[in-house]
């Protein structure tokens, strides 16, 4: 395309970023809060800003020199991945509302424009901190360990010649230059891709092209050992090698400049219930449409000329308020590649998870005697695989039913389900096609299982099925008996090695009967509104949790033991926050262990002064959900898949399952929850103003790292079964 006259940037349709957006003044005198008005915006922390503070706690791990060096690099990459997903979903949703003129006001009193301004500003601060962490701490520390990542001005002539040869052999064949002129339309740019906007002189005219850097190529390219014989490992950046050799893609032209850019698209899938005659087909069609999702961020190098930026802005049909100029690298998710280096001394020490069952032949005998609790990753995920393997191998098993949300890319569980179906067992699987970022993968698994004769259900159109359930039906001498596994995490071997999750194996008649009814609801037509043992969303979980919290208030008023301990990932639902405020006003002590978003403000006099909130971010991702109710001295404990968020309570199929066995309840309270509450190393406490601060270590004491202590506890338990 001829660059004269240059394409002009259209006037912005939006206002965010074009003028200063005023945020409501935050209350500082919490003693003046009205205890009778639990809906006042000052009582709530903004959900989006709370999530960003969680990501800051992850970034703090990258900044913490007590972690092994490559673990710090891992945390850096996680922060970047999290931010990308935040823009793809949360910022994209705000942008959709803003562009449509929908002025939703969040519980904390911010309108859409104010939330956009606040989240963008906080995300920009975080990216600046991330890049400083790399530049000032991690990169020099890696160099001290003989792991060097070179910038172009550090190349020797010998290295440049080597990289030119490498480019011709390994990179050039993969690249595809796409011209942009009247005969070549503006090319499709994929989500999260890195690209060069290239300016060339051709036939006396200035023209433009786009070169995508394929994600199939490693970001960090190893180069020959240091000629000085310093040893170690040396890398260069892929984009630097491409930039230095782009002329080879445009022979016979004058390469004038090349400017890196990256886009993030809206990936939030919305399915219209009245249009979803075939859910699999609808999800598949929606995935294809998402490839063209509206841009929510355009990152460009700060050296990109105005005329080049004009062309991108015009052809993406965006406003400049979503453009971000940077002098730093883009796409920090690729730093995960460095964590694969074989440098054990720079990583966490490996550990051997506890094995519950040595084989699978004794599993059903064990479960007839007592329930079994597992705690991943301290307990091996092989317990779940052994449970399903027992069902496949046992001729007395006649049916298997299972929910699958995030299965993973290489699942042995699917192989076992297929094998069971081929043996003639009845196998029914609900595959949640709408699991965000796993839709394509789940469609492939669903097709494979259907081809094997498995009864596959794709979920409920208007709901996501997030419950983690596996039910085994066995024909025994006394009659039909059922066995179940209820979990807090996905049936995914990879995530079970790094996420903390709880699983309960049981043959308790009342529980497995309820689980059967849940499967009837998922696979057939059932209007059941109440369950004997399980708390099930969306039919009753919200009202039942409220009733359990209210019961603690009644115990407190009557002088009986009352306490709440909730361990979960998020507290964001305003109704549940108000329930907890009312419990605090009754004097009930509530200790919340919330990994991520928490919209509740603790410590407000007369409203939340008996509530504490702490977050633990450490070696493992805290993912389990445990709900503990003191219940007047007769404790009740539930585990399951639901957080205290509107989507979990009202728009998902979720299950919380009671743990009845006294020793298991005691273990969850005394070993798991109390250990987490004692953490003074990785825990951060939420203050009333929304900030998180480290927990004070008692004078003369050593910091308590809860995850490390749990590793020690489970290693001592060895092969014993809970």
Residue 377 to residue 372: CA distance in whole angstroms = 16
Q: In the beta sheet, which residues pair with residue 376?
A: 501
SS3 of 559-576: the string is: CCCCEEEEEECCECCHHH
Residue 199 to residue 253: CA distance in whole angstroms = 10
Residue 245 to residue 249: CA distance in whole angstroms = 8
Residue 631 to residue 642: CA distance in whole angstroms = 21
Please give the DSSP secondary-structure letter assigned to residue 173.
G
Residue 110 to residue 25: CA distance in whole angstroms = 11
Candidates 262, 243, 237, 257; CA nearest to 175 is 243
Residue 661 to residue 637: CA distance in whole angstroms = 10
Report helix, strand or coil for 318: coil
DSSP string for residues in 524-539: S-------SS-EEETT
Opening angle at CA 181, ends 177 and 185, nearest 5: 75
Length, in residues, of the chain: 722
Contact 374, 505 (CB under 8 A): yes
Outline where 454-611 has alpha helix (H): 493-496, 509-523, 541-557, 574-585
Residues carrying an active site annotation: 466
Report helix, strand or coil for 210: strand
The structure tokens 């440049």 sit at: 160
The structure tokens 């005219």 sit at: 205
Residue 422, Cβ neighbours under 10 Å: how many?
13
Candidates 348, 373, 451, 445; CA nearest to 403 is 445
Residue 432 to residue 452: CA distance in whole angstroms = 18
Candidates 269, 595, 291, 645; CA nearest to 432 is 269
Contact 413, 385 (CB under 8 A): yes
Q: In the beta sheet, which residues pair with residue 400?
A: 427, 472
Residue 336, Cβ neighbours under 10 Å: how many?
16
- Environment class of 394 (CB within 10 Å of its CB; exposed 0-12, middle 13-18, buried 19+): middle
Task: Give the burial string for 521-535 (b: 16+ CB within 10 Å, else e).
Answer: bbeeeeeeeebebbb
Segment (H or E) for 383:
helix 382-393
């Amino acid at each position: 395309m001829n660059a004269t006259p240059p394409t002009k940037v259209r006037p912005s349709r939006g206002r965010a970023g074009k003028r200063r957006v005023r945020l409501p003044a935050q209350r500082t005198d919490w003693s003046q809060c009205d205890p009778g008005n639990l809906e006042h915006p000052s009582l709530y922390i903004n959900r989006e800003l709370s999530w960003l503070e969680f990501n800051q706690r992850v970034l703090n791990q990258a900044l913490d020199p007590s972690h092994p060096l490559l673990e710090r690099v891992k945390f850096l990459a996680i922060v970047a991945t999290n931010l990308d997903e935040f823009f793809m979903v949360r910022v994209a949703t705000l942008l959709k509302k803003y562009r449509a003129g929908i002025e939703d006001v969040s519980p904390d009193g911010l309108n859409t424009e104010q939330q956009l301004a606040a989240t963008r500003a906080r995300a920009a601060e975080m990216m600046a901190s991330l890049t400083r962490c790399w530049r000032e701490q991690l990169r020099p520390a890696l160099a001290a360990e003989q792991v060097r990542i070179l910038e172009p001005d550090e190349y020797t002539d010998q290295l440049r010649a080597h990289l030119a040869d490498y480019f011709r052999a390994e990179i050039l064949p993969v690249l595809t230059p796409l011209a942009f002129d009247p005969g070549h339309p503006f090319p499709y740019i994929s989500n999260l891709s890195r690209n060069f906007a290239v300016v060339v002189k051709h036939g006396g005219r200035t023209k433009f092209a786009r070169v995508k850097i394929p994600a199939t190529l490693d970001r960090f390219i190893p180069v020959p050992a240091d000629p000085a014989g310093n040893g170690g490992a040396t890398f260069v950046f892929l984009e630097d090698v491409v930039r230095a050799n782009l002329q080879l893609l445009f022979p016979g032209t004058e390469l004038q400049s090349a400017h890196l850019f990256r886009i993030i698209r809206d990936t939030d899938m919305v399915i219209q219930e009245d249009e979803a005659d075939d859910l699999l087909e609808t999800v598949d069609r929606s995935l294809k449409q998402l490839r063209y999702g509206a841009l929510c961020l355009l990152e460009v190098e700060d050296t990109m000329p105005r005329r080049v930026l004009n062309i991108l802005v015009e052809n993406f049909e965006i406003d400049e308020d979503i453009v971000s100029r940077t002098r730093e690298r883009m796409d920090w998710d690729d730093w995960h590649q460095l964590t694969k280096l074989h440098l054990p001394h720079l990583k966490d020490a490996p550990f051997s998870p506890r094995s519950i069952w040595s084989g699978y032949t004794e599993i059903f005998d064990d479960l007839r005697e007592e329930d079994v609790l597992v705690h991943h990753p301290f307990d091996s995920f092989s317990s779940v695989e052994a449970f399903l393997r027992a069902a496949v191998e046992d001729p007395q098993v006649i049916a298997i039913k299972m929910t699958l949300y995030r299965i993973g890319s290489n699942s042995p569980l699917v192989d076992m389900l297929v094998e069971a179906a081929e043996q003639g067992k009845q196998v029914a699987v609900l595959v949640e096609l709408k699991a965000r970022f796993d839709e394509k993968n789940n469609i492939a698994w669903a097709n494979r299982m259907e081809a094997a004769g498995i009864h596959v259900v794709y979920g409920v159109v208007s709901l996501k099925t997030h419950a983690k359930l596996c039910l085994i039906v066995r024909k025994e001498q006394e009659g039909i008996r059922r066995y179940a596994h209820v979990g807090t995490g996905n049936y995914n071997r990879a995530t079970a090695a790094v996420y903390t999750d709880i699983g309960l194996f049981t043959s308790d008649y009342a529980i497995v009967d309820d689980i059967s009814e849940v499967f009837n609801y998922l696979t057939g037509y059932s209007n059941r509104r109440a369950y004997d043992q399980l708390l099930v969303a969306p039919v009753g979980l919200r009202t039942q949790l409220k009733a359990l919290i209210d019961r603690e208030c009644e115990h407190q008023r009557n002088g009986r033991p009352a306490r709440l301990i909730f361990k979960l990932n998020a507290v964001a639902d305003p109704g549940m926050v108000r329930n907890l405020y009312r419990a605090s006003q009754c004097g009930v002590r509530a200790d919340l262990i919330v990994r991520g978003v928490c919209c509740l403000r603790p410590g407000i006099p007369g409203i939340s002064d008996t509530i504490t909130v702490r977050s633990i971010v450490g070696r493992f991702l805290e993912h389990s959900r445990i709900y503990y109710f003191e219940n007047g001295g007769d404790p009740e404990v539930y585990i399951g898949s639901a957080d205290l968020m509107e989507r979990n309570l009202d728009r998902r199929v979720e299950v919380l399952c009671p743990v009845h066995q006294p020793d298991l309840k005691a273990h969850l309270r005394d070993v798991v929850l109390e250990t987490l509450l004692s953490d003074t190393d990785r825990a951060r406490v939420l203050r009333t103003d929304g900030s998180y601060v480290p927990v004070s270590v008692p004078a003369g004491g050593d910091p308590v790292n809860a995850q490390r202590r749990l590793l020690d506890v489970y290693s001592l338990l060895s092969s014993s079964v809970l």
